[in-house]
Chain A
Amino acid sequence: MAKRSAPEVNAGSMADIAFLLLIFFLVTTTIETDSGISRKLPPIEDVEDPPIIKQKNIFTVVINRDDRLLVEDELMQLEDLRAAAVAFLDNGGGVGDEACDYCKGKRDTSSSDNPDKAIISLQNDRFTSYNAYISVQNELVAAYNELRNREAQRIFGMDFTVMEKFAKDGVSYAGNKDKLKENIMRIKLMYPQKLSEAEPRK
């Protein structure tokens, strides 16, 4: 018998099949947006006698049920909150042991002693909208980041947010990673994030 060669398979429809699959994946793809503001909740514990904090070291932010802001007993627009928070944290009004040598604020004696003592207290109503709450949180975090960036620029010549990004993915950073983490801790200690949230008012 004569040897017959196998007939060639027609590959013309391969493109169609591939297109079908392609369109399926195109439609189902959602490039997920998983980024946000990270917070740590305070653990539940009974504090016997809470430490006494001087009124001047507390920066109160209240959001009412109509999403309006009351900062240090004065009405304020959201646009001005960041600057006000920066001014408060960076005030450095303390003297002696409580002095802050890197603060660039007004050194007003009626405002915070140093960034370590300064506490931002956020209070909201049960009817405050989540939009307003996140906006305020964002502005307060931005105030901390602004100060941290400034100090990181001064000491390490690099933005704090950039340093954190490097510490997180790590691959793209050429230098010593332990050193980087140490530097981050140092900046964090200079401006510790002390954001306390009160139970919402009924």
Chain B
Amino acid sequence: MSKFRKKSGGELPPISTASLPDIVFMLLFFFMVATVMRQNTLKIQNNLPMADQVEKLDKKDLIMYIYAGKPSQRYQKTFGQEARIQLGDKFADVKDIKAFIEGERASKREELVPFLTTALKVDGETKMGLISDIKQELREVNALKINYTTKKGDVFKNMN
């Protein structure tokens, strides 16, 4: 029966870590591919409302982002508590929207311009007055395709 007896002093062989780099590289490549670098640093609070009848926005390069909301904590000293618009990296005024849209249009190829969509990323606490002003400006420059960006969720959680 000595066949089945354990070898005396049989220490566990060390686990080979040679494949560890491969595993880590695999993860690394996944995250490198999946990463979307944030284009704009947000200077405002941006807690989007929830909705469930949503459509996905594809073609990221054909979207112009307009952010709006209260300035974040560290900008409140200089910019106050009133909701503001952010275009690109800067705070902006309602009348800057036209120039922004024209600039975005100029940077795209001409045949793609009709497909440009404006995504409104607006904080849920914002008052509709500001948004109406934005929409009016967009109408004036004929940027009619808009999308109210929302989180996925139940609308009844918005109201409380």
Which residues of chain A have a CB within 8 Å of any CB of chain B? 11, 14-15, 18-19, 21-22, 25-26, 28-44, 67, 78-79, 124-135, 137-139, 141-142, 145, 164, 168-169, 199-200
Contacts and interface: CB of A to CB of B under 8 A. Distances in A.
A33 B149 CA distance: 8
A37 B138 contact: no
Contact of B54 (A37, A125, A131): A37
15 contacts: A18-B28, A29-B31, A33-B151, A34-B56, A34-B119, A36-B54, A36-B55, A40-B145, A42-B144, A128-B127, A134-B51, A134-B148, A135-B158, A137-B51, A168-B56
B52 A40 contact: no
A77 B38 CA distance: 38
Contacts of B58: 168-169
Interface stretch (B16-24, B74-82, B97-105): B16-24
Most A-side CB within 10 Å, residue of B21, B117, B119, B155:
B155
Interface stretch (B4-12, B86-94, B108-116, B128-136): B128-136
Contacts of B125: 129-131
Contacts, number: 163
Contact of A25 (B21, B28, B156): B28
A38 B127 contact: no
Interface residues of B, number: 58
Contact of B147 (A21, A32, A36): A36
Interface of B: 17, 20-21, 24-25, 27-28, 31-32, 34-38, 48-58, 60, 63, 117, 119, 122-129, 131-132, 135, 138-140, 142-152, 155-156, 158-159
A79 B156 contact: yes
A44 B127 CA distance: 23
Nearest to B28: A22
B39 to A, nearest CB: 10
Given A34-B57, A135-B155, A128 B128 contact: yes
A39 B146 contact: yes
A22 B158 contact: no
Contacts of A32: 36
A107 B51 CA distance: 31
A155 B140 CA distance: 41
Given A41-B144, A200-B129, A134 B155 contact: yes
A21 B35 CA distance: 13
Contacts of B27: 22
Contact of B127 (A26, A126, A135): A126
